[in-house]
Each structure stands twice: as C-alpha cells, then as structure tokens.
Amino acid sequence: MQARLVLEDGTVFTGKAFGGSGDSVGEVVFNTGITGYQEVLSDPSYCGQIVTMTYPLIGNYGITRDDFESIRPFIHGFVVREHEEVPSNWRSQYSIDSLLKEYDIMGISGIDTRMLTRRIRHHGVMKGLLTTSNKRVEELLEQMKAVPLMTDQVPRVSTNNVFHCPGTKERIVVIDFGSKSGILRDLTKRGCDVVVVPQNTTAEQIRRIAPDGVLLSNGPGDPKDVQHAVKTVAQLLGEFPIFGICLGHQLFALAAGADTEKLKFGHRGGNHPVKDLATGRCYITSQNHGYTVKEESIAGTELEVTHINNNDRTIEGLRHKKYPAFSVQYHPEAAPGPFDSSYLFDDFLQLIRDHKANHPMLPRQAQIAAIYQAGSTEYTSVSKGELHYAEK
C-alpha cells in the first residue's frame, strides 16, 4: 500500500506503508541511533511525534518482549529508509510491522530519510501528516492545519494509579511524567523501595508516602504545559533530595526560577557528547528532548550549571546551590545508548544518605508527642484506617 508523508511546508515524500493505515498528524523529528529502534518506539517521550530513523536499515533484529521501555508505543508515526519484514535474531518474537499493526500506528518506508533529516535540521521540526489516503496534497495540507499539535502528552502517558516496586533500601518516589522502564530498573537493582505516582500527585500526597528522595522522570512535550508539576516540585524543593531526568530536569529548572525554550530540532539519539564541568570529562549520552533550559535564565537563581552539551553548548546538568537537588537533560539509564552516566543514580542515593546524616529526624513517637504538647488536634480527627501526616 502506498503511503505519503506531507510536511507543513508542502514537501511530500511518497513511500510504502507498513503497520497501521489511515491518517496521523504529529511533530516530525529524527533520531540518530543505529540500534535501539524498539526502545525508541516504546519511549513515552515520543508521544505526539512522527519519528524518523536516520540509520537506513530498521527492523533487522525484530521485536522482543524484554526490550520495551513502556507497556505500549505512544508515537504517532514511524519513518524509515528500509523496513525489514523478516527479522533475523534468536531473541526476535515478531516484526515491527506486527507491533505497529497491533496499536494501529502508521509507518512509511522507502523514502529518502537523508533529505528529510537535512530539511528538519535546516528548517527545524515541523508538523507532518502520514496518510494512506488518495486525497490531493492541498486537501491534506488543510486537514493537517486543522489539527493542532498535542499539549496534553504527559497526562496521556503517565500512570493513573500509584504502584509499588518493593525494595529494602531507600524509598524513592518516582513522579511519572512518562517514565521509561530503565529508570525503574536502575533504582530496583540498587535495592531501592520505589513508589511510582501519577504526574498530578500533590506535594502533600508525596509527603504521606514518606520518601527518602524524589525522582522526576522523563516525559514528552513542553515543560510549561505541566505547570501543576512545577508547583509540586517547588513545594518539595529543600524538603527531600530531588533528581530530575530530561523533562524532570526542565521542571526542576522552572521550579527554581529558570526558564526553558524550544530547540530548533532537538537532541535525539545515543551519541551526544556531554562535558562534566567539574572534572572536564566528556560522557557519551542517550538523549531525547526538544526543549532546553535557557542559559541566561540561570542568573538570579540558586542553580549552577554542572554539564554542557559539547555540540551546541546547551545546558545538560544543573545543581541547586542550597538544597539537595540536581538534574540532567540526558538519560543516565540509556536504553538505548551507552551506560556512561549510570553513576548518577549512585550519586543520587549518596545525596540522600548525606542529607539524612546531616538532618536526622526525630523518632515518630517524639514527633507525635511534640504535636500534642503544642496543643494540636492533628490526630483527633483521623478516620479509622487512614494515615495522616502532619504538615511541616
């Protein structure tokens, strides 16, 4: 079946359809990874986007149950130069075509992805329409213009319920803005007691879980579209150690008074060089984001820049000067990509231990006694079976 990719500037690419059929509108972006297409497909941060793979051979090793980064793919379209219909790998369980058909996600192959990538790099990311219809290009452009790009991606990809990954060490609350499974894997293999909460969880609800630290996950879209999360992070700042990843990094910056802006074509791939300003060491990192923290907005805040991108000098890491909180724009859990930066999870846990050592808490019974001595009625109105934590 023939498929077409129509860009908002009128450029048309004609190729062969695979996966689903019909029409799909999204923001057209590109990823420079050579491998890891299954992790790209299942990364919730691509919600609302049509993803172009710059590597020409996609699908060679098929799809396996073990490599998903979320329970299902959220992308709005997949663009490749050559799609392999018969994968060859001992781990392969089915093909990309089967996966995309299952979720009715459109794919297109046989187009010049080099030309498409150069166009995006020159003009910036733009809206696109994937279609298997026979409508005239003028009709398709009008159809695309009538469909706005999504601004509610985070609520779409976040969990709706709290869930628990039991462990015996530090309790970490992960606020799920579209978290990849790799983040949970890195925490649980370190023995953490992980509680994953929805993106709209309030600061008070998080306090009741009594975490040792809070991790702000990756996620899709513009950080300014989730202002409620910025407010929550601001309320938790200084109370618990915080670690932000990707979108979580941007939300941390906004909560601390900095600003963000959209990049021309973003960073998406597994080979982005990042410099640690403290050591001078360069790390090769996995990235997927279209927004960045504005460098000039750091002045006047209590943030300091810890990492920069060696390609375009954009901010890749931040640390709070006063509170136990830091963030990175890239993905220390990789998946796909190098594991150079997985040490950041260890740094986060050490930050938690240092914070607890420097700020020892009173035993719970002593806290309750202090409340009663102050004449509070905090515990007299608690209904049976409820946990109720005093406000700080």
| H helical segments located in 210-319 | 227-236, 247-255
Dist. CA 327–CA 293, nearest whole Å: 11
Q: Please say whether the beta carbons of 11 and 120 come within 8 A.
A: no
Q: Could you tell me which of 150, 206, 152 has the C-alpha nearest to residue 175?
A: 206
Distance of CA 213 to CAs 23, 244, 249, 302, 367, Å? Answer: 43, 11, 15, 20, 20
Catalytic: 139?
no
Return the domain boundaries, the chain.
2-150, 154-358, 363-392
pLDDT tens figures, 36-88:
999 999 999 999 999 999 999 999 999 999 999 999 999 999 999 999 999 99
pLDDT tens figures, 100-133:
999 999 999 999 999 999 999 999 999 999 999 9
Examine residue 338 and say whether the peptide bond preceding it is cis (omega within 30 degrees of 0): no
* For range 327-350, the mean pLDDT: 96
Q: Please say whether the beta carbons of 344 and 186 come within 8 A.
A: no
Catalytic residue among 249, 272, 320, 331: 331
Q: Could you tell me which of 124, 159, 126 has the C-alpha nearest to residue 44?
A: 159
Residue 383 pLDDT greater than 70, yes or no: no
Dist. CA 149–CA 331, nearest whole Å: 25
Q: Please say whether the beta carbons of 152 and 225 come within 8 A.
A: yes
pLDDT tens figures, 259-302:
999 999 999 999 999 999 999 999 999 999 999 999 999 999 99
The H or E element spanning position 262 is strand 260-276
Mean pLDDT of the chain: 93
* For range 207-236, the mean pLDDT: 97
Known binding residues for L-glutamine: 45, 219, 221, 247, 250, 288, 290-291
Q: Please say whether the beta carbons of 304 and 326 come within 8 A.
A: no
* For range 154-158, the mean pLDDT: 97
Dist. CA 80–CA 91, nearest whole Å: 22
Burial group, residue 340, by CB count within 10 angstroms (0-12, 13-18, 19+): middle
- What confidence tier does 367 reach under pLDDT thresholds 50, 70, 90? low
- What confidence tier does 23 reach under pLDDT thresholds 50, 70, 90? very high
Sequence-separated (6 or more) residues with CB below 8 Å from residue 26? 48, 49, 50, 75, 76, 77, 127, 128, 130, 149, 150
Q: Please say whether the beta carbons of 261 and 291 come within 8 A.
A: yes
pLDDT tens figures, 251-271:
999 999 999 999 999 999 999
* For range 201-216, the mean pLDDT: 96
Cα 98 to chain centroid distance, Å, stands at 25
Residue 332 pLDDT greater than 60, yes or no: yes
Q: Could you tell me which of 213, 205, 171 has the C-alpha nearest to residue 387?
A: 205
- What confidence tier does 369 reach under pLDDT thresholds 50, 70, 90? confident
Beta bridge partners of 78: 51, 107
Q: Which residues of 57-79 are buried (b: 16+ CB within 10 A; e: fewer)?
A: ebbbbbbeeebbbbeebbbbbbb
pLDDT at position 388? 37
Dist. CA 286–CA 302, nearest whole Å: 27
Catalytic: 249?
no
Task: Look up the pTM and report it.
Answer: 0.92
Burial group, residue 321, by CB count within 10 angstroms (0-12, 13-18, 19+): exposed
pLDDT at position 380? 44
Residue 18 pLDDT greater than 50, yes or no: yes
Catalytic residue among 39, 76, 246, 316: 246
Catalytic: 331?
yes
Q: Which option is the CATH number for 154-358: 3.40.50.12160, 3.30.2270.10, 3.40.50.300, 3.40.50.880?
A: 3.40.50.880
- What confidence tier does 371 reach under pLDDT thresholds 50, 70, 90? low
Q: Does domain 2-150 have CATH number 2.60.40.420?
A: no
CA angle 223, 224, 228 (to 5 degrees): 95
pLDDT at position 390? 34
In the structure encoding, which two tokens stand for residue 150, read together?
A: 């999504």
In the structure encoding, which two tokens stand for residue 70, read together?
A: 């979320």
Q: Could you tell me which of 19, 387, 43, 92 has the C-alpha nearest to residue 245?
A: 43
